[in-house]
Structure 1
């Protein structure tokens, strides 16, 4: 009766714990003699060739190229051609199979189980959308506060910004029903806007409000203190220095102050940046797995940083 033998990951050093199949030098069905080169195995230090410890025929490869197994892990089964494939499979099953096999494709039952929760989640937004409040139809840019948020009340317990308090009083918004997102739950104008929009109302954007109120000054700016660069940019862009804040040294308008006014009056379109990037060639990123030596270097550096005490001296 022919004997079924196995090939395993050898232990080539005291510190060797696992090995990676770099390349098989023979294929399934090939015969080999004792001492022939079977495959290349990579460790954390070297790439060595596994020599056949016996003569036989390679019947089944269990660890493909790139598979990593611990020392003693089963990589292949050898037997004579007289042994049937069924016996080989039973032998592998008795050993517990191979841990380096590729993951199996999901079965039809698992697909049905995973698709069932997805279907339930897909049905849920339809119910929520049916019960959502109907938005109030008003002119664009106007305020429309739903009845559920109306009823302004003055209370010392309300913690909101001055601008939010002023707008809430003007448009009859009950701040007790608004959740603040600021520090210690402080209510801002953005919080009121979000609450009104969620309830089905309308609240203009804060940025649009501030931009609509920008009024350019027509006063003489020749006596305004400014740096030469700021004055040249203001003349080039048609900006009055009286509209610029003063943040430079000795009370002068600097370059950044003029640029702030320019970008405020000429906001960059949102779609401009992607159009510029689309003309440039896109670089592809390729992920390369680390070999055994690089893994060992990384683990040693991590252990040294974690276990060894570090201190620095500055003179």
Structure 2
């Protein structure tokens, strides 16, 4: 079904996973999509070629845009190129992400910085470049692709979970701060759906410390893989996430919820309860501090 109100959308990390699925979904629904990829002449050349071929074959309003979310100049140039080409920007989807999965002890501070450069600071860079255009328009939406791990931290996932928790905090701050300018900031929080981010996880460089966790870590990974395979039907396809993102894009301005969960029933219910308590707590604390009127919750 094609949207009756097409939006101009920038999505980062569009080469694969949720980003690729969402790019194709939005374009097929009639939106003008700028698919953001880094290294177009290198590792992402095949993905860029596939997206261009898809756009031509299906006559989609889909353009590939080079953007490296870890580079200020690249982000600024991409957003300028988009706005000059399209004349508008309605929605930004911050999807670019990496997964550093392993024992925290084995990661260096430099490796931790790489995790945050993409998952957290990447969104900050992109949004900082886009916000002036959205403010001038008086409307727009910033959609962050978060994770359930922002609310809980399983073993061997500390860096990834921390980066997503930080992204959640940024989203909530933007949500309140930008509301007076007609800009919505929201986050979608998927469960662990089958994409390539897990298979491309960056392991620690310190092999000596990593080896200390060998038996436990190997067993942990085996259990996750086995359980995910056994429960594949219950979890469902990754397209549930791209469909939810499409719904957020098409939701009328001012009606997007701060948080959108996409998860199996048991996980959904548990995290939804945490969401409700967190919202209640924020309101109570803000009111007690005399700043409740500045929240975009009422």
Q: In proportion to residue count, which structure has more helix?
A: 2
Q: State whether TM-score is above 0.5.
A: no
Larger Rg: 1
Higher relative contact order (CA 8 A, sep 6+): 2
TM-score range, shorter chain: under 0.3
TM-score (norm 1): 0.18
TM-score (norm 2): 0.18
